[in-house]
Amino acid sequence: MERDNSSRSRHALSVQWLALAFGAVLALPMASVAQGPGTEDGQWTYLGGDAWHTRYTPADQINASNFNDLEMAWRFNAASFGPATSRATPSYVDGKLITVTGERRAMIALDPATGELLWSFTEPNTPRYEYSMRYSYGKGIAYGERNGRGVAYISTPGFFLHALDVVTGEPLGNWGEAVPIAGFPPSGSQDMLADIIDGWGPWEAYSQSQPYDAFAGIPLELGYVTTSSPPIVVNDVVVVGNSAEQGYLQTRIENLPGDILGYDANTGAFKWKFHVIPRPGEFGHDTWDNDSWEWTGDVSSWAPMAADPELGLVYIVTNDVTIDYYGGHHPGDNLYSASIIALDVQTGERAWHYQMIHHDVWNYDTPTAPVLMDVNVDGRQIKGLFQATKQAFVYALDRETGEPIWPIPERAVPASRVPGERLSPTQPFPTKPAAYDLQGRTAEMLIDYTPAIYQQALQVAQDGNIFNALYDPPTTIDDPSGPAWNCPGGGGGTNIHGPPVADPVNGVMFVLSTQGCFRLQVEPGITSNMDGPEQTGTTHSDWVAMATSMPGGAIATMNGQRGGLPIFKGPVGRITAIDMNTGEHLWVIPHGDARQAEQDMIRNHPLLRGVQGVEVNRGRPGGAGGMVVTPTLLLYSGQTADDTWSLFAVDKRTGERVGAVEIPGRSRYGMSSWVHEGKQYVIIQLEDGLAAMALP
């Protein structure tokens, strides 16, 4: 088996480096030479604003001096489309606000000034949609142009691709292939399932006796595929990722690989497919033992994508292999799971890859798109790629070559005691930037306001067997040590509902994270309560997750009770600013405000009377919240001490809070900012729709 995180194929691509100078472009509010395309003229063209997925707007109408004057300009309630999509970022293109909503992932266009619905498109119902476990995770749309007219693209829970005229909402004529299902438009759609299974061994064998049924899809015993993020359009190519069912709910080992697909943006014609599980003769095939490449799957790209149109590369991050917490049925490092993959957008060929976790069994799938920025490291101009993760690492790479900007050595990690499991003996550990949240639990992380407090916290941790390492593996149901602590757990660190943002002008990344831990334990798959006829695959795994996280375990407070004084340092929910020119942390602030009762408990705790430097506001855990960067501010959603949902403004240079305004409900994931008819708006994703904030 060959492990290769350094020897990569290269593209002979011309390079034009852009020098970054702190503040050099701040005087250009509507154009930045240090930013990827997508936000020119006040627009928000990509899911992440620009192709680099920075969520940065050059618009500067909203600033520290007037932020507290923001008010709600309008609110859109999505109830008519069913339960709203709580994870979506609207795009502002061609004078319209376009997003997705509802479990059917309807595409809608709104008037940016009023929130009035202009048009909508909903795909006809199919069993393929009804089975999808990702129907409410649409996240947004992709945008392109054909013959000078704007086109909006969506991929749906049923795994269809649609292209609509931005002005009219009508499916494009002479685009794609007619889908043979009642209610589908005669043009403007593409059945991607037919393309992804074409040439796949299990399907080819099955299809010898059963023809393809576009309405029903493929039988569950072969596998299933859906989508949870929009496509991305790069240089007239629509690149589409996908998703599978959650690995911590799976009990069987067969599934469809989540291959990446490319389509001609102008015609809808299929262009290429990249095999995320390499087949014989392809690079990485030797990282799959036991012939598991033939029948297992997932390795999906459920997170959004980023791109560098100038380099002609699209950057995709991937999930782990079918079934979380156990991988004995697919021994090996398993490329391209838990990896960053750079593909030539015209051919789908691999330019380079970097695997962040070998043989992942921790549910450390990559949850957010890479962030691209040009940085200056020790006098070297580098086109950078920065990937935040559930592990609270940022992997910093040269996006042209895939080489680490700073060393990422392989370090020894614990072996598994689960029968049949064979973990990698090492994992990559970035040396810069430093981890932006707690990894594992060690004595160095304990509160240490005084020596006596530290000793008491140490005793609590030792008595409760709370200390653990980052890559401690899951244990079996009969292991006397009980479930393994997993810190951060599969919820992060960083997770999809709180994606990072960046200031590409100055090379600074802002990362939202939480300190949550999981407890991992596996049981025999044949007796699992999760098993049933709705599972994909046919062969039970030897071991499967007992739950996403097992309940119980010691409570990490001084008195061992919930609501007590925490023994580990905070903030438990935080935002970290990292200068990617140096790899150094600039500042750390709590994400929002801890509840007033919690702050009062800490402030008045008997152990802390008269103690200086006590951390009273530890922020909110959970890591959920939208963020946007402007020329001077970091905007983010969160809660104040009285539980009021608010939009906060922070001086992005110092982390100082400069304003807070109330918003009409809980917000997470989606936030965008753009300029319509001379007015800057900030869009907040709510649980039941959208709210637009603007100056009077």
Residues 369 and 142: beta-carbon distance below 8 Å:
no
pLDDT tens-digit readout, 5-43: 643 433 333 323 233 333 333 333 333 358 999 999 999
Q: Which two tokens stand for residue 41?
A: 């003229």
Give, in degrees to the nearest 5, the angle at Cα 157 between 154 and 161: 35
Residue 2: per-residue pLDDT: 42
Give, in degrees to the nearest 5, the angle at Cα 481 between 478 and 487: 115
621 or 2, greater pLDDT: 621
Residue 34: per-residue pLDDT: 83
pTM for this entry: 0.94
pLDDT tens-digit readout, 135-154: 777 799 999 999 999 999 99
Rounded-to-integer distance, Cα 669 and Cα 683, Å: 11
- CA–centroid distance for 327 within its chain: 23
Q: Is 201 helix (H, G, I), strand (E, B) or coil?
A: helix
Question: Mean of the per-residue pLDDT values for the chain?
Answer: 93
Contact residues for 498 (Cβ-Cβ < 8 A; gap 6+) = 492, 512, 513, 514, 623, 624, 625, 626, 627, 668, 669
Rounded-to-integer distance, Cα 141 and Cα 158, Å: 16
Statement: residue 543 has pLDDT above 50: yes
Rounded-to-integer distance, Cα 192 and Cα 128, Å: 12
Q: Torsion angle, CA of 401/406/410/414, rounded to 10 degrees?
A: -130
Backbone phi, psi, residue 526, to 5°: -65, -25
Rounded-to-integer distance, Cα 352 and Cα 283, Å: 11
Separation in Å, CA 72 to CA 39, 443, 665:
23, 47, 12
Statement: residue 672 has pLDDT above 80: yes
Burial annotation 96-105 (CB, 10 A radius, 16+ → b, else e): bbbbbbbbbb
Q: Which two tokens stand for residue 369?
A: 């798109």
Question: In this structure, how many other beta carbons lie within 10 angstroms of the beta carbon of residue 534?
Answer: 11
Question: In this structure, how many other beta carbons lie within 10 angstroms of the beta carbon of residue 16?
Answer: 7
What confidence tier does 412 reach under pLDDT thresholds 50, 70, 90?
A: very high
Q: What is the DSSP letter of 286?
A: G
Give, in degrees to the nearest 5, the angle at Cα 249 between 247 and 255: 50
104 or 605, greater pLDDT: 605
pLDDT tens-digit readout, 317-373: 999 999 999 999 999 999 999 999 999 999 999 999 999 999 999 999 999 999 999
Separation in Å, CA 311 to CA 10, 341, 343, 352, 526:
12, 14, 10, 13, 49
Rounded-to-integer distance, Cα 509 and Cα 176, Å: 39
Backbone phi, psi, residue 195, to 5°: -75, -40
Amino acid at 614: V
The structure tokens 């009762």 sit at: 597
Question: In this structure, how many other beta carbons lie within 10 angstroms of the beta carbon of residue 148?
Answer: 5
Q: Which two tokens stand for residue 77?
A: 């309630």
Rounded-to-integer distance, Cα 389 and Cα 488, Å: 10
Q: Which two tokens stand for residue 93?
A: 């293109």
Residue 5: per-residue pLDDT: 64
Contact residues for 627 (Cβ-Cβ < 8 A; gap 6+) = 55, 498, 499, 500, 501, 510, 512, 575, 634, 635, 636, 637, 671
Q: Is 602 helix (H, G, I), strand (E, B) or coil?
A: helix
Q: Where are the domains of the chain?
A: 40-694
Rounded-to-integer distance, Cα 183 and Cα 39, Å: 36
Q: Which two tokens stand for residue 133?
A: 């476990």
Homologous superfamily (CATH) for 40-694: Quinoprotein alcohol dehydrogenase-like superfamily (2.140.10.10)
Rounded-to-integer distance, Cα 446 and Cα 120, Å: 53
Handedness of CA 265, 270, 272, 274 (dihedral sign): positive
Q: What is the DSSP letter of 600?
A: H
The structure tokens 């403004």 sit at: 649
Rounded-to-integer distance, Cα 425 and Cα 405, Å: 24
pLDDT tens-digit readout, 461-498: 999 999 999 999 999 999 999 999 999 999 989 999 89
Average pLDDT value for residue range 490-512: 95
Give, in degrees to the nearest 5, the angle at Cα 611 between 589 and 567: 60
Residue 639: per-residue pLDDT: 97
pLDDT tens-digit readout, 415-451: 999 999 999 999 999 999 999 999 999 999 999 999 9
Average pLDDT value for residue range 515-531: 95
pLDDT tens-digit readout, 285-327: 999 999 999 999 999 999 999 999 999 999 999 999 999 999 9
Segment (H or E) for 584: strand 584-590
Nearest CA among 621, 503, 349 for reference residue 32 = 503
Rounded-to-integer distance, Cα 404 and Cα 396, Å: 6
Nearest CA among 425, 427, 389 for reference residue 409 = 427
β-bridge mates for residue 375, sequence order: 382
The structure tokens 């708006």 sit at: 681
